[in-house]
Structures are given as C-alpha cells and as structure tokens.
C-alpha cells in the first residue's frame, strides 16, 4: 500500500535529517584523522538518532544545557543533553499539532528500589471507576519508547496515550521511568523493569489493582523491555502475567530480522538505515556480544514456552516489522497465543498522530481492545 499522504512532508524532513547525520559522521571521522585539526572531532556524527521517527526536531527547539552547580559535562554528554531537550520539544509540539490530549486521570508517584542499580520511578494512572470492583481493576506495567536513549514517562505524547488508554480500557497503567543509555547501559533497564514488576504485584492491593489480572506493554525499545521482562519473570519464579502488548517491537538487537524493504520503499539507502538502527544497539549495549543474550534480544531466547499471550502491532513502513513478525511466529511455535497485526501505509510512530490520522485512532482502539482482555 502507498504511504499515507499525511507522512509525505515528514518523510522529506526525516530523509534530510538522516543524510545530514551520515554526512556529519564522515566529516567527524575525517576531522579526527586530520593531523592539524584543533580540539575534539565534530559532534555531528555521534549517531544521536532515535528522534521520534518521522521528523527531526528543528534546531530552534534546542536549549543550552545548564551547568550551574553541576559537574562539567564532556562534549558527548552535552550533545546527548541537547538532543534530549530537542526531542522533548518536538514531542510537545507534536501533541499540540497532531495528537490528542489525555483526560484528567488520578495519578500517584512511587519510587521502587532496585538492588545493585539505580532506583526507578513509577507513575500509576488510576481509572477510578464509579463502581470499582472489590478485587481491584486490571493493571498494566508499561514501558515508553525512544531507542533506549530518549523519552520518559513525562513526555507529553506518552503521558497523553497512557491517560487515554486508562480511561478507555478501564485498567490501571504503571508507567516505568527506566534509566536511559548510554549512561545506564544494558542490563540496568531490565533489572529496573523486573523490580517494578515485582513491586506492582506486591503493592497491587494498596494500589487498587487485582494481582490476578496484570499484563505488560511497551512501544519500540519499551516493547523490548516488556518482552524481556516476561522472560525474566518466567526464569526467576513466574508471577502470573496475563498479557503482553508489544507495539513496533525491537526484539533482536543483532539486526538479524530487520526488514529493510520498508526503508528502501521510503527512499532511504540501506547503509543509512543500517547506520541509524545499529547505533541504537551500540548505545544500549556495553558490548556488542550482549546482543545475543535473550534479555537483550528476546527473539533469540532458547525457549518462549510459558510466556503470556501476546498482541503485537507493526507498521508497513517500519524495518522493525520483521522483528514483530518473527517474534509472533516464535511465540506461536512455543504454543503461546500470539497475534501480529500490520498497519498498512503508516510508519513506526503512527500512534502519536491521533488527531490527524485515522490509522492512529484505529491503533488506539485496538490497543484498548487488547488491554480490555484483562477484564475477562
């Protein structure tokens, strides 16, 4: 199916962004090799990547990083800070222009201890039904997307999506503000995710959640964490998870299941697409060999038996569609109830555009329908 016209201008901007990034990387390497260069190599080739897919944030969104009363940051850390500020500004504008704000929902903030790793913040969105069931409402542990290096539970589109899903599905969502790479590489986020899952089960009663009806959900890198935590949970004792909802998941960090026909159809050369996608794994993994570990690449686990039923959503113009297809097939071979739905004519970040794109509204409805399975 042809790409939806909604994406045409966004695709032009995104292609330019990727080409500029690739060109900046070449310049940076040449500068490093030039014996008379002054100062550190150019910062443009760091592979910041992972700008929420269809467009790069404009430079006027970048605010200078403050260093008052803080240790001086190195050039790479300053570049990451600027990139994250730009991504947050981009996200805020996208919600205003093409998204849908979430309804007023009661939220509570919690800090979960993670042995051997930084504590993690969890925000719980409560549906507060007029007639709450005595046993509590279903609960979902949720992980945001952002290539492991940007994003957070406070990003406007993430917060709005959680609010809308809680309201429409009648479930509580516990959103995990896991630590970002490269400051906190794998497996820090995995350990935080598992600690948050244990906390959710142990605290279910006081949160008004039914511990018999808990699932996990995630988007992109967050879907990687959601899938990984089902494996960790199974391997470390097995809380009774009822569901996993994985949106545009990346589940093989070796890149072995990328479907580059999707990027080729968008006019993005193979080497540029691979550069961008591989930079995600390089940022998250301290050692490339970790990409073959099952908690880093859930698709590569020796066994997928005993995992919860899965609903997987992919997009036609997204190279990660190959990951989603392969993971659904692996789950089904292991006897897990799993379905994979591919949305035609759309891209990786489709759910953001709820006010402008019919497919995004359908996406929301399908996620809500999946979450409502926890009421059964």
Instruction: Sort 206 into a burial class: Cβ within 10 Å, 0-12 / 13-18 / 19+.
Output: exposed
Q: How many residues comprise the chain?
A: 376
Q: What is the pLDDT of residues 325-344, one digit of tens each?
A: 999 999 999 999 999 999 99
**223-262 burial code (b ≥16 CB/10 A, e <16):** bbbbbbbbbbbbeeeebebbbbbbbbbbbbbbbebbbbeb
Q: Cα torsion at 289, 295, 299, 304 (round to 10°)?
A: 140
User: What does the pLDDT look like over 149-199, one tens digit per residue?
Assistant: 999 999 999 999 999 999 999 999 999 999 999 999 999 999 999 999 999
CB distance 273 to 319 below 8 Å: yes
- Residue 203 CA to its chain's centroid (Å): 25
- Judge whether residue 357 has pLDDT over 50: yes
**Rounded average pLDDT over 228-242:** 96
193 neighbors 228 (Cβ within 8 angstroms): yes
pLDDT of amino acid 60: 36
pLDDT score recorded for residue 67: 36
136 contacts: CB under 8 Å, gap ≥ 6: 204, 205, 207, 208, 209, 210, 211
* pLDDT at residue 8 in the model: 87
Q: Which of 177, 318, 323, 349 is catalytic?
A: 318
**H/E element, 328:** helix 321-333
Contact 166, 172 (CB under 8 A): yes
Rounded mean pLDDT of the chain?
88
Question: What is the helix (H) or strand (E) element at residue 346, kind and residue range?
Answer: strand 338-347
Q: Is 177 a catalytic residue?
A: no
- Are 119 and 355 in contact by the 8 Å Cβ rule? The answer is no
* pLDDT of res. 23: 73
Residue 21 pLDDT exceeds 80: no
SS3 10: helix
- 67 vs 129, residue with greater confidence: 129
Catalytic residue among 126, 348, 354, 364: 348
315, β-bridge pairs: 343
Residue 2 known to be catalytic: no
- Asked if the model's pLDDT at residue 308 lies above 80, the reply is yes
> What span, in angstroms and rounded, lies between the C-alpha atoms of 25 and 359?
35
**For residues 126-155, average pLDDT:** 92
Average pLDDT over residues 288-314: 98
- Cβ neighbors of 352 (< 8 A, separation 6 or more) are 52, 94, 95, 98, 99, 157, 360
Residue 133 has pLDDT above 90, yes or no: no
Both tokens of residue 337?
């109830």
User: Each residue of 247-260: pLDDT tens digit?
Assistant: 999 999 999 999 99
User: Average of pLDDT values for 20-49?
Assistant: 50
Q: Return the DSSP state at 341.
A: E
**For this structure, is 220 an active site residue?**
yes
Domains in the chain, start-ordered, CATH in brackets? 5-97 (no CATH), 103-375 (3.40.50.1820)
Burial letters 266-302, b for 16+ CB under 10 A, else e: bebeeeebebbbbbbbebbbeeeebbebbbbbbbbbe
What percent of the chain clears pLDDT 90, i.e. is strictly above it?
Answer: 75
Query: Exactly one of 142, 220, 297, 354 is catalytic; which is it?
Result: 220
- Provide the pLDDT for residue 46: 30
């Amino acid at each position: 199916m042809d790409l939806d016209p909604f994406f045409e201008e966004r695709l032009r901007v995104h292609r330019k962004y990727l080409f500029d990034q690739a060109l900046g990387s070449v310049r940076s390497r040449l500068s490093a090799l030039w014996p008379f260069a002054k100062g550190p190599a150019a910062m443009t080739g760091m592979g910041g990547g992972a700008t929420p897919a269809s467009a790069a944030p404009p430079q006027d969104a970048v605010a200078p990083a403050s260093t008052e009363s803080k240790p001086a940051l190195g050039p790479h850390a300053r570049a990451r800070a600027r990139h994250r500020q730009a991504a947050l500004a981009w996200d805020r504008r996208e919600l205003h222009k093409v998204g849908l704000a979430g309804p007023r929902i009661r939220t509570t903030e919690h800090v979960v201890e993670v042995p051997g790793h930084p504590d993690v913040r969890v925000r719980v969105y409560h549906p507060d039904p007029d007639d709450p069931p005595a046993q509590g409402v279903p609960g979902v542990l949720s992980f945001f997307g952002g290539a492991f290096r940007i994003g957070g539970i406070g990003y406007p589109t993430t917060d709005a999506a959680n609010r809308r899903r809680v309201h429409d599905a009648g479930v509580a969502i516990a959103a995990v503000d896991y630590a970002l790479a490269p400051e906190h590489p794998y497996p820090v986020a995995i350990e935080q995710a598992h600690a948050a899952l244990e906390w959710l089960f142990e605290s279910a009663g006081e949160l008004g959640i039914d511990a018999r009806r808990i699932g996990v959900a995630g988007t992109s890198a967050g879907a990687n964490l959601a899938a990984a935590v089902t494996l960790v949970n199974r391997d470390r004792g097995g809380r009774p998870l009822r569901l996993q909802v994985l949106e545009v998941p990346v589940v093989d960090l070796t890149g072995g299941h990328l479907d580059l026909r999707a990027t080729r159809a968008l006019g993005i050369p193979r080497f540029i697409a691979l550069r961008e996608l591989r930079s995600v794994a390089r940022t998250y993994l301290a050692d490339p060999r970790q990409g073959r570990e099952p908690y880093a690449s859930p698709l590569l686990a020796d066994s997928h038996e005993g995992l919860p039923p899965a609903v997987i959503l992919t997009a036609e113009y997204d190279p990660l569609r190959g990951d989603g297809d392969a993971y659904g097939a692996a789950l089904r071979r292991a006897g897990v109830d799993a379905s994979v739905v591919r949305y035609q004519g759309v891209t990786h970040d489709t759910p953001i555009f709820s006010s402008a794109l019919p497919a995004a509204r359908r996406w929301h409805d399908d996620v809500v329908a999946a979450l409502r399975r926890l009421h059964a």
